[in-house]
Each structure stands twice: as structure tokens, then as C-alpha cells.
Structure 1
């Protein structure tokens, strides 16, 4: 079954468009052939681009007769040919037996006879040149690249009030040639005068001014203003930003950012269900501007049959540095699983700093008071039954994140490493270090039907410093469940003790957790419409008494699910089956309903 599932996943993910078109429901448009003598590359390019136009054209949906479709597509082919420099091309179409045939005679490809740039001489001196030259074919995309390069150069090197670049191509049919000229419209060079914020009522204006990073005396650049608007929107405090630029005076212009504040308070409610943890509810409240400078207060509670949490969190941005933030939290948690029950109170403070666009370092302190009751006989030393802990930890972390969306990533990757040294203040001889590493990767073939996404997750963990049963039960590693190995019960994978009943019969205890962890997940995600999608997945994992994580002796699960895609995050509904089912331990299947992708 494992081989069959992996084969199906790879086949669906790798299915190209031209094979998918053979499926009866795939496409209702008539097939076409395109013949062009003497230039197989141009023939292939036209065929590919016509197929792309078929996929994305809403106009074709209104045509029913093949002759009308052929007439419309002939016009598209003529435009495509002109875009490649073929201004004398002819296209003939014919229809027979619901099949369209296009015969193309491209004629000569026009080349650039002369090329000029109208630009102030002081700016022209530093311009490195165009991506298109005299003698090159007159290809529309290359002409546009030239316009974009001039615009980019002026935005980066000039202080022009307005950057307006246009071009004119004059075609000379008798010579199969063209004259190409780029023109930069005249505009004064100016610098920034005053910078103002208007429309802020509960946000301190100087906080927003620090965000825009536009200062009096700066060279005036529209791209800098666009970046400032984006930074204001990313504060999550602003719903809309408009930029007003004054008339020039004495070589200066004043800039005013007119903002519209968002509602800074949000209440959310959620429900979910998993067959191993039962039904659950969540509620959260947040204030994103508690002290008028972007400080965020969050209060969240989650309840299900296994775990109950209540957490309050305060986040202070720009903590002693623009790219640094402080997050303080207090959390109450109760957990009751087959092998143990626990109650804990945790205080923590964490400072995180962005060291680049995608990289973040973090470090902090955590104090956890917990009471743990192990239910498995033999898991606690009879001479030392006390399972109250006062754990002081110093978490250190590194995260790399290049994904496009946090709750429904379609491209990019993440890597997250946490090293967390612990000391038990009740018993200073108890020290250990908990290390975890998680890697994810996402790749989407957006040009294929159903836009398949291949998603991969790897997770490993190791605890060093103490023997397995000397560790608090709620700090050991467990595998199994909706966020781990689907198909197996919550924390049902890991080391077990041998128990002997009154009749001398041996049996395995519930999972007691371990010092090593290994998990791997592979998903194929598909989008059938804008709001509905599906997924097939394959998970493996286990926890080990030995702290060295390894990808052997894994338990495997597989399944499928549907996704209802909302503007915020997908709602997932999965059913998973244990492929290494253990009699009297594992159920035949598990069901998961929650918000967001599994990873």
C-alpha cells in the first residue's frame, strides 16, 4: 500500500498539461494543429503560448462554434507573431471534424536599424546600457525590458519628481526594419522637505515616522515612498495609506502620509475535532496597539478532552533596536493523556532579532512550575516519587523562513532550530538540554492544472543530560497525532515498558516518551477551484529512548483530505490510516478537522 500511495502522489504531481488534456473532462475546446515551415522553435513557441491563452482566456468561454474559436485564435496568433518581430506574417485557419488547423507563414523578422535614448545628459553618463541593441530582432518583451531598465536606473540614481519613460518603434516595411527611440519626460530634480503623518488618532505619529524611514533632505524617489507605504501597512495597525506630495519649492517637496487606522482589537472563536483528542474549542482576544506604539496584547484559550491552555502574551516591537522585539508570556496548562497527567504554570520572556530579511535569532528565559503524575507503573522511581518540578530554561533559537504564506505555504522553505538548556531548581542535580530541528519545503507547479504543491516536513529532536525516566514526562518526546504522524493516536508512538499482571501475563504499557524523535511528512496538495482543494499524504515517525534521532523503525501512516480555502487560511478535513497498525493499540483510522494546513 505504501508503494501504491507514493506512486499515486508522484504521478499526480508530475502530470504535465499535455497529458492531462487527454482526460475527458479536462478541456472542452477543440484540438488544434499548427504548421510553420523552416523554424521549429517559433512553431513550438506559438503552440505553447496558444495553449496558455486557452487556459486563461475568459473570452473563449462565450464561443461554441469551432469556426468562431478559430477566428478569435487567429487574431491571437497574429499578435504573438508581431510581438516576435514578424510584421508581415499571415495566418490561415481551417476547421474540419471539430479540429482546427492553423497554417503560419511568418515572413521576415524585423530588426532594429537605429536606437536612441532621450535622457538628460547628466543622467545619461552613468547609464550602463540597454538589454536590446541595434541589429537585434524587434521583440516586444525586450523593448519593454529596456523601458523598465531605464525606469529602474532613474528611480535609483535620480531625484526626479516624476519618472516617465516612453518608447516609439517606427516600422519600415520595405527594409523589414524599425527605428526604436526611448524618451524620458522632462521633470525637475527635488529633495524631501517636511514629512508628516495625518489621520493617526490612537497611534503616536513619531512611531509611524520612524517606520517610514523618509527624512528631510533625502533625495526624492517614488520607490522610497512606495516602500514607506508598505512598511506602514506591515505594522498591522494601518488599513490604508495615501501619499500626498506638495508642489516643488526651492528644490524641495513636502510629503504627507495620510493613513486610515485599522480596528486594533480582534476576537476570534474556533472549533476543531480529532478522533484521538476529541472535540475542541478555542477563543482569543488581541489588542494590537495597547500602548499606542504597536504593542500587542494577546489572550488565548484552547480546550479539548486532552489539553487545556490559557495564555496571555505581550509583544513589544522595536525593543532597543528597530529589528528587535520582546515577547513576554504567562501560560496555564493542563494535560491528561494515557501515560501521565500534568498541570503547569509558565513565565517566559523572549527577545527575537531579524538579522536579515528571512533570518531571525532569538534568546530568552523561561520559568516553569509543574506537577506531573505518571500513570505507567515503573516509570517513577519508588524511592523518589516526587514529581513536582521548578524548571528554569534558557531557550536559544534560529529560524529561516522564505515561504509566501504562514498558514498555507505554496513555495519556499523554513528551518527552525531550538536549543533549550534546563535546570530543576528543586533539584539542581537535574539538568538537561532539549534540542529540536524542523525543516519544511514547498514547491508549486502553478502552470499545471490543479496547481499541485509538493510539501515536505522533517523534524528531529534529542534530549541529553539525563536518563529517560529522570526527565519530566511532559518534556519527553512523543510521536503520533494530527501535527505529527497522522493515523496514530495522540502521543501513542514511542518507548513502552513491559508490564506483568497478576497472572504473570506480559503486556506493553502506554507510551512513556523518549529522548529522541524523528518525523517525516510528504503531502501532495491540489486546487480544484478557488475555494476547494484536496490532499494526499504520507507520514512517518517515532520516539526513541536513545537521544540520537534516526529515520529507522518508523511507524507509517497515510491518508487523504479536502481543503476549503478561505481568505485567511484553509479549513482542513483529513482521514488517516495507520499502515503499521498494532492490535489492541491503534484504531483503524483517525479523523482531523482544523484550521490551516498540517504544516
Structure 2
């Protein structure tokens, strides 16, 4: 029964991604259904159908029409525009309405081809031009024509120093021949070099810090695309809210450039609330200063409190730490945790240097010192029988991350690979040393052209601790599974190895989870967008922790459920309801509820 439920849930998650044609659900759409047929061209028919469905999904103008005939008239005009953009200038579109159904009949006619193509630009620039993506004999398609404009513009930006790059085109249609003449023109403009470069308007951010972000220096070849890239880099510092550029009139083949910036408020206060069935209600608060020493250094103080976990942390981030591609992060944190199997209190000092190897790859290395007191609640869970242990752990974390996702809190495409290797040494007891390894993979794929823009999200996590027996490890460093960020449907840290306990009457029972040296987790989600603000989720989670350090994906506990998302400009607010598929009597509840900010992963 559990396997059948799992298969059904996966089928529901994958079905929208596999459908070739989206289906209108009356609850979410009041538009009449439609049929569309194109005489003699099935490929064009599929293209027009896809574009019409996209129009229905995104056009706010359709909301003002109530009559199916008015909708049909509006959509017919759009179909005619689409046909012309594909090169069908003699196409005929007829519509008919029967009740709440619209029928479109399309006679495309001949497709217009390019008869001649000319590029008018200075001869010295034309010499190295590699050519266009279209040519004589190709269909006169709007996308291809515009791509030609972009190709010429990019070539000039990369290979010339023109003060202004202005590329236009003219297409002359010849109806008698079902053909067209296409001509591209580059407007005359002087070639200039960069003179003086200044950043104006900064009040608290040091000007030289911002100037170094420009990557534009006196004597460089002038390029409008370099100006755009420089403005984007300034905005990405998160220190300015607006950037404009001023280019002087040319003098002696030189132009001066001024970047005018408007600083944003560098301080932010945030408050948050959340709720889970296993951890109860929780609150969070943080204060942030993004320019504490006037060169983009960020100081953040944050706190989170619920009945299970409490934390207070201060973190300082320094960009360009001895290198433009390096960042230093130092933090001091106090944490407390009170779970079924242990209670812990800890003070952690940490310093980490991260370096970008490329746009998507980052490595990191650092040192961490953790002073903790861990009180074990499970009899027999500590070597020697003393349930209270003090630890002075020195660690040297090493990390690697590959990240190609588009958004940190609501990714819709891309993937991540994160690996952390963390050797530990107990300074109080030199005989205690171990290495904690964690690997996590995530992937996201969105069918943007399908109705409700379904996203398939996948997460796989594995962990292994080597170097010491399980019960010699601090309880708060062992692996546990279960909870909102792990296996939904089960209580926080309720999955993992358990000891056999014998009561006064000789009856055997299992203890609370004591944690282990191995971890395996897998999650799959189907995410849907019903509107700009509302969405839904179907999910399946599996995971477990093991005494043996080798992860095992064949012995997992499974949970499944659904959720609602309210999309804000910052991140989605999520509400998840999860059910344990491998429910254990007397241990697991019938369901768990999770409310928080951001996707589950």
C-alpha cells in the first residue's frame, strides 16, 4: 500500500511536465475553450496553439472581455500578427463560436522568403564581421530579423569604439513574389576612447571602492555595453538603489564618463514568525548594516527562538578580502537545543574565507571553535555512563559549491552541488577526533510554456562521520532525520538509530532517536503557479539516519503531502501538510504542519 501511494504521488507530480497540451481547469479560468486547425501545416498549428495558450495565460486585456465573440475577435487579431511574424503575410484566419467554444480555421498561404539582404556599415568595420544568422532564401521571421540586429550590435560593441551604436533594419515586402528585401543600417558615429572616470553622489560608501567595481579605466575603448555592465555591478553591491551614467561630448577622440549613484538605506530590521507541529511556534528577528566600515562590509545580528531551538548570532562579512574574488565571514553564535534525546548549549566562534573560482563555483576554508555542554537523556547513549559531557571542539571546514540556480529562496531552474568536509578535534580530550562529511545535490526544471508553469524540484543529501564510534560523538553533532527541512511528516529528529530500553518489569521498548554516523535523504516536489501570487505543491520525502557511516538509500522512511504557496516579492510563504507513510504506533503523529518563509529546498 505504501509503494502504491508513493507511485501515485510521483505520477501526480510528473504528469503536468509530461503533458503535451495543457488543460484548462474551470475553477482557475473563465475563458471559453478553443480548437485550432491550420490547413496543411501541423507544425505551424502546434506553434500557434502554444502561442495562443501563452497569450491566455499572460494577457490582462482578455479579462475585460465577457462575450466569447469578443474574445474570438481579439484572439484572431493576435493570430494574424503571429502569422505575419512567422512570414505568412497572406494568411487568412476565420473564427466561429458555438456556445462556450471557439473554432479557429487558418489558411496560411505562401511563406515569404528573403530575396536580398544588405548590411550598410563602414568598410573598416565590415571587414571582420562574421555574418548573420539569416540569409537569402530563409523565411522572413521576425525573431530571426531581430536576432540579426542583436548580432550586429554585439559585434560593434565588442570590436569598435563607437560613441553610439544604432542598428536599424527595413524589410520591404513584395506580395507578387511572396518575397522581401531586407536591409540593415549602422548609423554613422565617431570612435572614441575613455578619458576621466568618476563616481559621484556617494555619501558613506568610499568612492574608490565603487570605482573599482566599474572595470572601466582611462584609455579603454569606449563601449556602451561596458557602461551597462558597470552599472549592473554597482547595483549588485547592494549599496546603491539607482545608477545613471553621463558621457561627455567628444574632445580630441576622448569622452569623460560620470556615474551618478544614489545610495540605498544600509540598515534593515526584519521580523518573522513560523510554525511546525513538532517544534511549535517560533519567532525570528535580525538587524543588518551593509556598509559598516564604508566599503561594503556587512554586520548582521540575528536571533531565532522556538520551544526546541534558540540561537543568537553576530556575523561580519568582508568582501574583497586580500583579493577581489575572496570574502571573509566571521561569526560568534550562542545556541541552545532541547530535543527528546539530549539538551545542548554551545558557544561557537567561526572564521571562513570563500573564493569564487568562476561565476558558479566557490570554494571555502576556515576554522571553527565550539565550546558545548551536551546532556544526554537516553540511558546508555554515552560511553562510560556519564550523561553530561563538555566539549571543546576545534574544526577546519572545507567546502565546495556549484550553484547555477536562478533564485536562492524560490529556484525554478538550475542545480546546486554542495560538499563540506569538516575535521574535528576535541581540545579537552585529544583522543576524540572525527571527520564530518555532507554532500547535497538539488535540481530544478520548469516547464514555463505549460499551464501553471510546473516546476520539478529534486533534493538528495548524504552524510558520513568517520574516525570515532557513534556513542563517542557529541550528540548534537550526530546525524538525525525528520522535520520540515528533512523528511516532512515525521517529528524533528525522530528518525535514526534507537537503543533498546528495559523497564523495571523487564519489558523492552525503544528509546528516542540517539543519532548516527550516516545520513540519507531524498525529496521530490511538483510546484505549480495558479496565479502571480498563489501556488501549490505536491511532495514526497524519504530519509533516515544510521549507526553505520555509510549512507543507505534502500532503508528510508517516507512522508508525503501537499502545500500552498503565497508568492511575495521577496520569497514564497509556505504552508505544508505532511503525512508519514511509514507511521510507527506510539511514535509518529498522523500528520505534521509546517509554516515558514521560502521553499522547503
TM-score > 0.5, shorter chain as reference: yes
Deviation larger for 381-390 or 77-86: 381-390
Give the distance between the partners of 2:444 and 2:66, measured in 1 at CA: 39
Query: For 2:213, what is the secondary structure of its paired residue?
Result: helix
**Contact kept? 1:243, 1:258, Cα under 8 Å:** yes
* TM-score, normalization by structure 2: 0.96
Deviation larger for 75-84 or 124-133: 75-84
Alignment of structure 1 residues 122-201 onto 2, 5 Å: 122-201=124-203
- Structure 1 match to 2:11: 10
Count of aligned residue pairs for this structure pair: 599
Deviation larger for 435-444 or 23-32: 23-32
Deviation larger for 222-231 or 11-20: 11-20
Alignment of structure 1 residues 19-418 onto 2, 5 Å: 20-21=22-23, 23-25=25-27, 27-382=29-384, 387-418=389-420
Offset at residue 242 of structure 1 (A): 0.8
Offset at residue 9 of structure 1 (A): 4.4
Offset at residue 555 of structure 1 (A): 1.1
- Structure 1 match to 2:586: 584
Deviation larger for 528-537 or 121-130: 528-537
**Contact kept? 2:519, 2:543, Cα under 8 Å:** yes
Offset at residue 110 of structure 1 (A): 2.1
Deviation larger for 10-19 or 116-125: 10-19
Offset at residue 20 of structure 1 (A): 4.5
Give the distance between the partners of 1:545 and 1:524, measured in 2 at CA: 32
Q: CA RMSD in A?
A: 1.9
Query: For 1:55, what is the secondary structure of its paired residue?
Result: helix
Offset at residue 2 of structure 1 (A): 4.9
Give the distance between the partners of 1:58 and 1:13, measured in 2 at CA: 29
- Structure 1 match to 2:435: 433
**Contact kept? 1:273, 1:279, Cα under 8 Å:** yes
**Contact kept? 1:197, 1:258, Cα under 8 Å:** yes
- Structure 1 match to 2:560: 558
Aligned with 1:446 (options 444, 448, 453)? 448
Query: For 1:428, what is the secondary structure of its paired residue?
Result: coil
Offset at residue 244 of structure 1 (A): 0.9
Offset at residue 380 of structure 1 (A): 2.0
Matched, 1:525 2:524: no
Give the distance between the partners of 1:518 and 1:179, measured in 2 at CA: 63
Q: Structure 1 residues 265, 452: closer, same or farther in 2, change over 3 A? A: same
Give the distance between the partners of 1:140 and 1:20, measured in 2 at CA: 26
| Deviation string, structure 1 residues 457-494 (Cα, Å, up to 9, x no partner) | 11110000000011111111111111111111111111
Query: For 1:186, what is the secondary structure of its paired residue?
Result: coil
| Deviation string, structure 1 residues 263-283 (Cα, Å, up to 9, x no partner) | 111111111121211221111
Give the distance between the partners of 1:24 and 1:576, measured in 2 at CA: 27
**Contact kept? 2:157, 2:224, Cα under 8 Å:** yes
Q: Structure 1 residues 180, 465: closer, same or farther in 2, change over 3 A? A: same
Offset at residue 157 of structure 1 (A): 0.9
Offset at residue 307 of structure 1 (A): 1.4
- Structure 1 match to 2:518: 516
In structure 1, the gaps of 5 or more residues are none
Give the distance between the partners of 1:45 and 1:380, measured in 2 at CA: 67
Offset at residue 84 of structure 1 (A): 2.4
**Contact kept? 1:558, 1:578, Cα under 8 Å:** yes
Give the distance between the partners of 2:373 and 2:103, measured in 1 at CA: 78
Offset at residue 23 of structure 1 (A): 4.0
In structure 2, the gaps of 5 or more residues are none
Query: For 1:552, what is the secondary structure of its paired residue?
Result: coil
Query: For 1:496, what is the secondary structure of its paired residue?
Result: coil
Give the distance between the partners of 1:384 and 1:102, measured in 2 at CA: 80
Deviation larger for 274-283 or 58-67: 58-67
Aligned with 2:472 (options 470, 473, 483)? 470
**Contact kept? 1:317, 1:325, Cα under 8 Å:** yes
Offset at residue 82 of structure 1 (A): 2.0
Offset at residue 551 of structure 1 (A): 0.6
| Deviation string, structure 1 residues 275-326 (Cα, Å, up to 9, x no partner) | 2112211111111101000111111111111111111111111001001011
* TM-score, normalization by structure 1: 0.96
**Contact kept? 1:21, 1:27, Cα under 8 Å:** no
Q: Structure 1 residues 17, 65: closer, same or farther in 2, change over 3 A? A: farther
Offset at residue 381 of structure 1 (A): 2.8
Q: Structure 1 residues 220, 48: closer, same or farther in 2, change over 3 A? A: same
**Contact kept? 1:20, 1:26, Cα under 8 Å:** no
Offset at residue 385 of structure 1 (A): 6.3
Offset at residue 506 of structure 1 (A): 1.1
Q: Structure 1 residues 49, 338: closer, same or farther in 2, change over 3 A? A: closer
Give the distance between the partners of 2:541 and 2:414, measured in 1 at CA: 20
Q: Structure 1 residues 97, 425: closer, same or farther in 2, change over 3 A? A: closer
Give the distance between the partners of 2:35 and 2:506, measured in 1 at CA: 78
